[in-house]
Structure formats: structure tokens, C-alpha cells
Amino acid sequence: MLSSKHILLIIGGGIAAYKSLDLIRRLRERGATVTPVLTRAGGEFVTPLSVSALAGVEVHQDLFDLTKEADMGHIQLSRSADLLVVAPGTADLMAKMAQGRADDLASTLLLATDTPVLVAPSMNVRMWDHPATQRNIATLKADGVAIVGPNDGDMACGEYGPGRMAEPLEIVAAIEAKMGDGPLKGKRVLVTSGPTHEPIDPVRYIANRSSGAQGTAIGAALAALGAEVVFVTGPADAPPPSGVEVVKVQSAAEMLAAVEAALPVDAGIFAAAVADWRVASESGSKIKKQDGKLPTLEFAENADILAKVSQMKTGRPSLVVGFAAETDDVITNATAKRKRKGCDWIVANDVSPETGIMGGSENDVMLISETGSEDWPRMSKEAVAERLALKIAEELADAD
């Protein structure tokens, strides 16, 4: 719920502006007050009348509206809000934000405040991929601006790829995660998820059967409790959760680099099924068949990300949680694994094919810590995630 929260919504000039009308409705349903601001370009896509009718208040458009300057100046407008949401966040609006320009009402409001800001980018895939946009996004993130989306998909311009604005309910989830008063508010948590792909050559790779479902559910559950979640995911089937910062990687080496870049965090949850080995000398060109001769692959060991973080001398997260996917002697192996890697907890599960856990919707886990083990009943992966997230919240509260 967002009751008594005040959101200043800046609607930029993109085709996704129509979704922002639904966003206003969804926010108001949850008890939030929405003050809408329409940029000049935004006004080309949706009318001020629809925006103000849905928001139930007048829409702000002009920087130099002297009547409003007299009773409620633009500075007051953004400072009285609990959160500024920019949706659609166009490439141009984000470029202005990154540079600190203030040449219209929206950019002035964004510069004249220290209220938290959430941007839902929306643009053509090539604009999104452009180094200038990526540079601006990195600057905004470094400035503490939260980003939701964009999603991959068909675009209004006929192209396909990342750039589609997040759906209204995904934006609502990101807003709730940022503003909710959950027990993990103010905590930064890292989650790794999904499989890794280890390249053999440009077209082949070694993978595993992880769907990423458990990691996704954990990311969502932690965000729902108010945590700021950095979600580092390999190429998973499950789409990443809403309201988290998503970092997509392919290989174990990329996952390690993304994890190191996300530190420091209060807790690290390592749910990814990381490949233990990579092909030692990945071929730069496609390996061809050679008259019945079989290729030989040499392997090299990947760094153990969980062990590396668990054994950090300085800046170790207060809580490090690993997973143990076992097929035999689950408790014995998982207990030994916890000690060997040096993490605080291990969530152990039996991934023998007859359990249907790997790739399925349920999980049957045992939580192992230094003080003993808890056997949880078989339940959905979402329920496991919620229970684990609550336990993490209790643990971090105790650590404070």
C-alpha cells in the first residue's frame, strides 16, 4: 500500500506515455496522491485533460506559470513529494538529468530536489543501446537514481529488443519496494540467480538446467520487504523480478565481476547454479567437424563466487547465504559445503530428477547454519523465498 505517499509523476514524450495514465490509476488505487507533470513532448502523446482527470488534480506543464510560482513554486512542488517518478523516461530527459540541465519544468524539478527519483526508461532499442544513453544511465545510477526496466519486446517502432517501458504494475512494484516501510528498508541485498553459460566457441556453450525460478522468487520477496536488490542473473528462463536492479551476465567470470561491482551489500544470497568449470581455451571461431575426429575440450576451474565473498577479509556482507544442490547425502554434503565455503547459511535441496525440483515450481529445503538445521516442508518456490526473506530480515535486524 502507498497510503499517504505523495508521488510527483513526470510524463516524458514517448509512445509509452499512454501507460502512465494507467500508472496514475494504479497508484491512486493504492492510496497514493499523484501530482502529474507533463513535458512539452509528453503533451504530444497524452492530453493534459486525460492526465488531470485521472490524477484528480491539475497537471503542471509550464515553468514560468507565475500564478503557480506565487503560491506553490516549482521548488516546493518537487520537495513536497516523497518520490519523483519519471515515466516514460526518454533518452533526452535522462541526458538532461545526467548533465544537471534545467531548461523546462520537468528538468528543473528534478534538479531542484534531493527527493529520491525512480526512472522508467522508454525508447527505441538503438537509442537504449547507444553508448551515450548507457553512459547517462551509469551516471544516474551513481547519483542514486533508481531505474525500473526497460523490458525486452516488440516496440512501437517495429523493432525488437530492450527499450520498452516497464508495465504499470512493474513500476508500482518498484515504487512500493522503494517507499514501503518493510523490515528490509535501507538494506542493500545482492542475489545471484539462474545458470551460467560457458562458451566453447562463438555458437556453442556448456549450461545447466537451472530455470532461475528460485532466485527470481527470492529477489521479488526481498524487494517486497523493502530491500534495495541487485539481481545478478545468468541466462534464465524466468524473467527477472520487478523493482530490482537487474544485471544480466552469461558466464561465471562475468557473474563474479558483476558481484564484485555490486559490493558492498548487507546480505548476499547466492542462488545461481554457477558452472564449476569453463572451457580452458574458448575458440574464437566455430569449431569445424574434421573427418570423424572428435574434438577434445580442456577445462579450467571457475572461481567460486560464494566462497570468495564469504571469505572476504574486509567488507564482507553481514550475512552470506549459499545454496547446495545435492543428489545424495543432502545434509552431510551441505553441512560440509557450508563450512568449506565459509558462508553463514546454506539452503540445501535434493535435486535428484525424481524430486522434480530442478525446473519445477516447488522446493523442499533444509536451512543449515552454524547452530543446526531446519527442515522446511515442501512448498512453492515463492513460499520458500518469502520465508527466507523474512529470516534474512530478522538476522539483519539483529546484526544492527
- Catalytic positions, written as ranges: 157
Residue type, 393: A
| Least Å from the CB of residue 323 to ligand CTP | 4
The contact mask relative to ligand CTP for 9-48 (x = CB under 6 A, - = no) is ----------------------------------------
Angle between helices 91-99 and 131-142 (to 10 degrees): 50
- Verify binding: residue 252, ligand CTP, rule CB under 6 A: yes
- Verify binding: residue 345, ligand CTP, rule CB under 6 A: no
Pick out residues in 154-193 that bind ligand CTP (CB under 6 A).
192
Q: Among residues 205, 231, 270, 345, which is the contact residue for ligand CTP, using CB under 6 A?
A: 270
- Verify binding: residue 233, ligand CTP, rule CB under 6 A: no
Pick out residues in 105-144 that bind ligand CTP (CB under 6 A).
none
Nearer to ligand CTP, 80 or 208 (CB): 208
| Least Å from the CB of residue 350 to ligand CTP | 11
| Least Å from the CB of residue 305 to ligand CTP | 3
Nearer to ligand CTP, 108 or 302 (CB): 302
- Verify binding: residue 91, ligand CTP, rule CB under 6 A: no
Q: Please work out the total of residues on this chain that contact ligand CTP, with binding judged by CB under 6 A.
A: 14
Q: Which stretch binds ligand CTP (CB under 6 A): 69-77, 272-280, 312-320, 388-396?
A: 272-280
| Least Å from the CB of residue 201 to ligand CTP | 22
Q: Which stretch binds ligand CTP (CB under 6 A): 40-48, 161-169, 266-274, 357-365?
A: 266-274
- Verify binding: residue 215, ligand CTP, rule CB under 6 A: no
Give the chain as a 3 state SS string: CCCCCEEEEEECCCCCHHHHHHHHHHHHHCCCEEEEEECCCHHHCCCHHHHHHHHCCCCECCCCCHHHHHHCCHHHHHHCCCEEEEEEECHHHHHHHHHCCCCCHHHHHHHCCCCCEEEEECCCHHHHHCHHHHHHHHHHHHCCCEECCCEEEECCCCCEEEEECCCHHHHHHHHHHHHCCCCCCCCEEEEEECECCEEEECCEEECCCCCCHHHHHHHHHHHHCCCEEEEEECCCCCCCCCCCEEEECCCHHHHHHHHHHHCCCCEEEECCECCCEEECCCCCCCCCCECCECCCCCEEECCCHHHHHHCCCCCCCCEEEEEEEECCCHHHHHHHHHHHHCCCEEEEEECCHHHCCCCCCEECEEEEECCEEEECCCEEHHHHHHHHHHHHHHHHHHHC
Q: Among residues 128, 205, 231, 323, which is the contact residue for ligand CTP, using CB under 6 A?
A: 323
- Verify binding: residue 322, ligand CTP, rule CB under 6 A: yes
In angstroms, the CA 255 to CA 248 distance is: 8
| Least Å from the CB of residue 188 to ligand CTP | 19
Q: Among residues 125, 224, 267, 274, which is the contact residue for ligand CTP, using CB under 6 A?
A: 274
In angstroms, the CA 85 to CA 381 distance is: 31
Q: Among residues 29, 237, 260, 276, which is the contact residue for ligand CTP, using CB under 6 A?
A: 276
Pick out residues in 292-321 that bind ligand CTP (CB under 6 A).
302, 304-306
| Least Å from the CB of residue 13 to ligand CTP | 43
Contact set with ligand CTP (CB under 6 A): 192, 252, 270, 272, 274, 276, 302, 304-306, 322-325
